[in-house]
Amino acid sequence: MEALSESLKVNQSLTSLDLTKNHIGAEGMQALSECLKVNQTLTNLVLSQNQIRAEAMQTLSEALKVNQTLTKLVLLFNEIGDEGMKALCEALKVNQTLTNLDVTWNQIGDEGMKSLNELLKVNQTLISLDLSANDIGVEKMKDLCESLKINQTLTSLNLSNNKIGDEGMKPLCEALKVNQTLTELFITHNHIGDEGMKALSESLKANQTLTDLILSENYIGDKGTEPLSEALKVNKILTKLDLTENRIGAKGMLVLSEALKVNQTLSNLNLSYNEIGTKGLEYLSDA
């Protein structure tokens, strides 16, 4: 790692570097961070599955405070935890170039999320944030949504696999009614049922920016398609809707089809792995 870092200090052409699963750890991160302080070309850095914990994150964060080229940082499947997240957020209050951050599966708890929420209220550069598989749950979701009401830059947010449930959808939907920047929202595998869909549908009637909505692997059934269909009749923004692997049957397809006869903007609809059957397909064909 030290040899690579030394070469990156003088390299003038490399823009993307993927170091996934290289057992970098704290010592390797020290060397890499030193090069990030002086490198002038690297924009995309992937450090997934590298056993990066709080100490290594502290070192990387110091580099991010002075680095002026990196725009994308992927830290998927490390163990940065609360302390690592706090250090990263402090760095991003200073950093002016990072636009894409992926911290999927990183054991971020209450304190780490608190630091992130404070960051989102003031950060002016981050446009894409992936928080998948961090066990956010309902209470942390409430605080995150307060930040989303204030944030003015985030356009893509991934909250997949976070046990949000119907209760967690309520504060998210309230945020969506006032947020004016989010265009992509991923909430796959979050135990969202018909009640959550009802809340989301109300927000879709008011939201003026969301174009891509990914709701795959949830518990949305025929009852949940009713409020969704009403929202689709009036929403003029949404272009992509993914309902893969839910519980939608023929009855749900009937009401969705009625909405599709009216809706003029939705161009991409995914209903894979549902239960629409032959009758549901007939309804869809008539739309």
What domains sit in the chain, N to C, each tagged with a CATH number?
2-286 (3.80.10.10)
What is the pLDDT confidence band of residue 3, given thresholds at 50, 70 and 90? confident
What is the pLDDT confidence band of residue 139, given thresholds at 50, 70 and 90? very high
What is the pLDDT confidence band of residue 6, given thresholds at 50, 70 and 90? confident
pLDDT of the residue at 75: 98
Of 216, 202, 159, give the one whose Cα is nearest residue 182: 159
Q: Which amino acid is at 135?
A: D
pLDDT of the residue at 1: 72
As a whole number, the mean pLDDT across the chain is 96
pLDDT of the residue at 25: 87
Segment 185-215, tens digit of pLDDT: 999 999 999 999 999 999 999 999 999 999 9
Q: Which two tokens stand for residue 160?
A: 């997949």
Q: Is the pTM of this model over 0.85?
A: yes
